[in-house]
Amino acid sequence: MPVVATTLSLRDIFGTIGARTGFTRNNYKITPGLYCAGHPTKNSPVLVTANYKLSFDTLRKELSHTDAWILVIDTRGINVWCAAGKGTFSEEEVAYQVQNAELDKIVSHRELILPQLSANGVAARNLKKLCGFRGRFGPILSSMLPEFLARGKADEKMKSITFTIKERAVLIPLEICGLWKQILAVCVLFFVLSGISPEIFSPQTALIRSVTVLAATFGAILTGTVATPLLLPWIPFRQFWLKGAVLGALTACFFLYQMVPVPLPEKISLFLWITGCSSYLAMNFTGSTPFTSLSGVGKEMRRGLPFQIVSTTLAIIFWIAGPFT
């Protein structure tokens, strides 16, 4: 039986950084199956988690003073919450791993402790029919597990999800690091567009004008991916695309006030570009929060995308028109 360490190694820490920044996120997983932490017995609790290694590591590092079995199910390397929403963290998959590990021969009890964030994907009442084990949902955070196991039940605090400034800040590196391809595409696109002038194409004009757009783009990125999540509770409106648009408009006004005078069409273009980009980037957070349901994400995208598409299209048109005014 594989025994897992309850302290993270340097390799684990670098792996966490890679997952948080998105560079190893898509293939950061472990082999499904049964593991043990400490020296569990037939009476020790069985904790269920996903095979996304960041989820697995988050669980095991809280078990330094706990003897427990860890049942890892195959979620295709996706975290608990997302896997439950996608249907890969389900009662059928949990039952399959229970039977595959022959868990009934290892423990004397018939109870599994499930992550609370898997509740939207697991019908716990069906588990006993499928594998003979009943499911019980644990606390919302793995850091609460020792207290939960000691008390034998969850209080209201353990059932309540939070979205503090620290928890929101954790999402920022992934959002920023995942934008390098888009930034490269924007640089190429606006270099070409910036060179369009009465002289057909001017490389010198293209370089000068594209630097301005690049600076505006970085302003939009900082607004949409950093300022919006950090200031989330204090920004008007509920939907994220509107929150991003509000902060984007303020950033655009500040940017235009600080820069050298440019023709009116270019001012309009930069305003629309920063506002639209900030709105789009802020909207990305709507699926990473407890604020919005799956249907709510779809509803927000149906409202936000038309605004962002129109803003971007008009921004390009006005930017091309700038040298001709």
Single-letter amino acid, residue 225: T
pLDDT confidence of residue 294: 66
pLDDT confidence of residue 293: 66
- Please give the chain's pLDDT, 325 residues, in tens: 789 999 999 999 998 888 888 777 778 999 999 999 999 999 999 999 999 999 999 999 999 989 999 999 999 999 998 888 888 999 999 999 999 999 999 999 999 999 998 988 898 788 989 999 999 999 988 889 989 998 887 777 887 777 888 888 888 888 888 888 888 888 888 888 888 877 777 788 888 888 888 999 999 999 999 999 999 889 998 889 999 999 999 999 999 988 767 889 999 999 999 999 999 999 988 767 766 666 777 888 899 999 999 999 999 999 988 888 7
CA–CA gap between residue 105 and residue 107 (Å, rounded) = 6
The secondary element (H helix, E strand) that includes residue 135 is: strand 134-137
pLDDT confidence of residue 296: 72
In order, the DSSP letters of 202-267 are -HHHHHHHHHHHHHHHHHHHHIIIIIHHHTGGGSSSSSHHHHHHHHHHHHHHHHHHHSPP--HHHH
In order, the DSSP letters of 152-180 are SS--HHHH-----HHHHHTTHHHHHHTTH
3-state helix, strand, coil in the chain (%, to 5): 60, 10, 30
pLDDT confidence of residue 276: 95
Residue 125's nearest CA partner among 138, 137, 134, 117 is: 134
pLDDT confidence of residue 57: 94
Q: Which two tokens stand for residue 23?
A: 């560079």
- CB distance 193 to 319 below 8 Å: yes
pLDDT confidence of residue 322: 83
Question: Are β-strands 33-37 and 68-73 bridged in parallel, bridged antiparallel, or unpaired?
Answer: antiparallel
pLDDT tens digits, residue range 144-173?
Answer: 998 999 888 777 788 777 788 888 888 888
pLDDT confidence of residue 282: 92
What is the topology classification, in CATH, of domain 3-161?
Rossmann fold (3.40.50)
Q: Which two tokens stand for residue 122?
A: 């697991």
Q: Which two tokens stand for residue 57?
A: 């590591």
Sequence spans of domains, the chain: 3-161, 166-324
Residue 189's nearest CA partner among 313, 308, 275 is: 313
